[in-house]
Structure 1
Amino acid sequence: MSESPISHLKFSTILSKLRAGINASDLHGSLTGYLCAGGKATEDTWGEALALDFTAEGIQDNPAFPQFFRQTRAQLDDVEFGFVPMLPADAAALETRAEALVDWCRGFLGGVGLAGAGKRGNELSADAREIVKDFATIASSNLDVSGKEEDETALVEVIEFVRVGVLLLHSELAPASSPRPATSPTSRSLH
């Protein structure tokens, strides 16, 4: 029997109750960036690999944390390219989802750095370097949204860009753990 996926809402609630000091999107971005960049961790060691303090009561024994790792790892390795950033559901306010994307990208870049991929920056393809640059732009942004339909469409497009960008970076930075061929998303700069 397979596990049902942990949603952003469920994981946010768990993190809040445990006073973990990090939100679900930021943590998912961090773990994704670390694994995407070839960082080595298991469901028992990933918190330590990300330099997180998971010694608080309830965190070490909570089954959601190993499941969170397995879910993230499975999405990255999915041959059907099923990876999606962990963000609030579409029913959440547009501003909330935009802020979560900023947090996710910030976490992602931190995870990539922890995996040591920054030292290999010159080895990346031009598309991959551009994606990292665009992720940094998103991470340092204060996305101004008004809730209009065009803002919703723009956010959906940026999320898709991030999703495909992660798959490209994963194929370049962690090819040993990725059985799928490299993807080449359409280069869309955010600046």
Structure 2
Amino acid sequence: MTDPSSELPDLADVESDARAMSLGVSASELHGGLCGWLAGGGALKPDWLAAVLADPSAPTPAEGSALQRLAGVTAGQLGDRSFGFDLLLPGSDTSLATRSGALFEWCHGFVGAFGLAVGAQASLSDEGQEALADLARLARAQAQEDGDDSDEEALVEIEEFVRVAALLLHGDCVLATQHRQRLN
């Protein structure tokens, strides 16, 4: 049985919190930003939302809110060595255009916040550099209105690539640093 505290909050709950706080980003883009921030070595402090959005006036999520749960679960998933990391995206019951658009928004949020966290002196592996470049290309992509079964399969593959790329970048920037610190 899965630990419910290790599952991301419902997309609709995160959307609702984001709207209530007038954040101006979708839940998927916000989650991508949070993941990028954490993968780049950004700290999960009470003001994480202001850091992720690069907006010092952004409010602090309320204790127990969907946004606060999102932050805690995401940090736990990224640090989990069993690769139990999930992307906050619409379910398969929504259109291909909606799901691909949300994935591209997720990538946009990730790339922006990753850059904020890691700064100009990122020390990435060759694979990490390639993954980041691919995520940046996806962040600029546009959702198409129609698709077929091969497009559905491609989206599943792209989602898995994005998930692994985020873990790889987290490994380059956070886990490698922690490992080096333990060796010293």
- In structure 1, the partner of 2:148 is 148
Deviation string, structure 1 residues 12-36 (Cα, Å, up to 9, x no partner): 1332344321110111011100100
**1:65 deviation in Å?**
2.3
Deviation string, structure 1 residues 48-77 (Cα, Å, up to 9, x no partner): 222344339xx5466222211101101101
Equivalent-residue separation in structure 1 for 2:67 and 2:12 (angstroms): 14
- In structure 2, the partner of 1:183 is none
Matched, 1:24 2:27: yes
Whether the aligned pair in 1 keeps the contact of 2:8 and 2:86 (CA below 8 Å) is no
| TM-score calculated relative to the size of structure 1 | 0.81
Which aligned segments of 4 or more residues in structure 1 are displaced greater than 4 angstroms? 59-62, 176-179
Whether the aligned pair in 2 keeps the contact of 1:171 and 1:178 (CA below 8 Å) is no
Equivalent-residue separation in structure 1 for 2:177 and 2:129 (angstroms): 21
Equivalent-residue separation in structure 2 for 1:128 and 1:61 (angstroms): 34
> Match of 1:16, as an amino acid?
R
- In structure 1, the partner of 2:182 is none
User: Structure 1 152/88 Cα, relative in aligned 2: closer, same or farther at 3 Å?
Assistant: same
How many aligned residue pairs are there? 174
Provide structure 2 residue ranges, at least 5 long, that are not aligned to the other structure. 180-184
- In structure 1, the partner of 2:165 is 165
Percent identity among equivalent residues?
34
Whether the aligned pair in 1 keeps the contact of 2:39 and 2:169 (CA below 8 Å) is yes
More helix by share: 2
Deviation string, structure 1 residues 95-152 (Cα, Å, up to 9, x no partner): 00100011000000111111034422xx311111110110011001113352310010
**1:175 deviation in Å?**
1.4
Equivalent-residue separation in structure 2 for 1:149 and 1:49 (angstroms): 39
- In structure 2, the partner of 1:47 is 49
| TM-score calculated relative to the size of structure 2 | 0.84
DSSP 3-state at the match of 2:71: helix
Whether the aligned pair in 1 keeps the contact of 2:33 and 2:111 (CA below 8 Å) is yes
Q: Aligned match of 1:93 in 89, 92, 95?
A: 95
| Alignment of structure 1 residues 1-191 onto 2, 5 Å | 3=5, 5-42=8-45, 44-50=46-52, 51-52=54-55, 53-55=57-59, 59-60=61-62, 63-120=65-122, 123-144=123-144, 146-175=146-175
Whether the aligned pair in 2 keeps the contact of 1:37 and 1:173 (CA below 8 Å) is yes
How big is the alpha-carbon RMSD for the aligned residues of Structure 1 and Structure 2? 2.2
